[in-house]
Amino acid sequence: MSDTLGLIVGAILVNNFVLSRFLGICPFLGVSRRLETALGMSGAVLFVMTLAALVTSAINRCFLVWLHLEFMQTIVFILVIAGLVQVVEVVLQRFSPPLYRALGIYLPLITTNCAVLGVALLAVKNDYGVGKTTVFGAASALGFGLALVLFSSIRERLDLARPPVCMRGTALALVTAGLLALAFMGFSGLGA
């Protein structure tokens, strides 16, 4: 039990995918302008990451290891993730067109989001079971969402500020992301 708790705390805070492992930076910078889109993106990633972790772990256990096809991991995992992203896209387009429009290109880009592939590959590397991988995937997605929501809230405040011209936009966003990452370093040593 404490093992699982450690895994969750570790994935959310200590080894936060965005702020500690620096994976999934693309949507982190791309859709963090507004809190609503950040929340939408977090939801989409939570869905894709959890299911991807579950399915890839199952495929890995049942087929790849059995057939000695471990070298096929990356391509099979990407295939699974791509399929899941398609599902999210179709559903979002139907049920929340404004969010779909706001996420724009970043929604299909979850396919190549290194954080999602990272969850699948790290789980394999750490030899997690199917259940543990699913928990790991969900917790990592929550960590990603936490970073995204924090960052988008800060950026909404930054929108009101008038920094020097050279710092406007992405420059200030990257500095902020760096500071946020420094802050998350404070969690190292916590949990597992």
List residues near other proteins by CB under 8 A: 59, 63-64, 67-69, 72, 75-76, 79-80, 82-83, 86-87, 90-91, 93-95, 97, 101, 159-162
- Residue number with CB closer to other proteins (93 or 188): 93
- Residue number with CB closer to other proteins (69 or 174): 69
- Residue number with CB closer to other proteins (83 or 191): 83
Length of the chain in residues, anyone?
A: 192
Q: Which residue bears the tokens 């990603």? A: 144
Which structure tokens are listed for 113?
Answer: 């989001």
Q: Are 22 and 156 in contact (CB under 8 A)?
A: no
CB of 86 to other proteins, least distance (A): 5
CB of 62 to other proteins, least distance (A): 10
Q: Are 64 and 72 in contact (CB under 8 A)?
A: yes
- Residue number with CB closer to other proteins (167 or 192): 167
CB of 177 to other proteins, least distance (A): 22
Amino acid at position 185, single letter: M
How big is the CA angle at 94 (ends 88 and 100), to the nearest 5 degrees? 65
Q: How far apart are CA 130 and CA 147, in angstroms?
A: 26
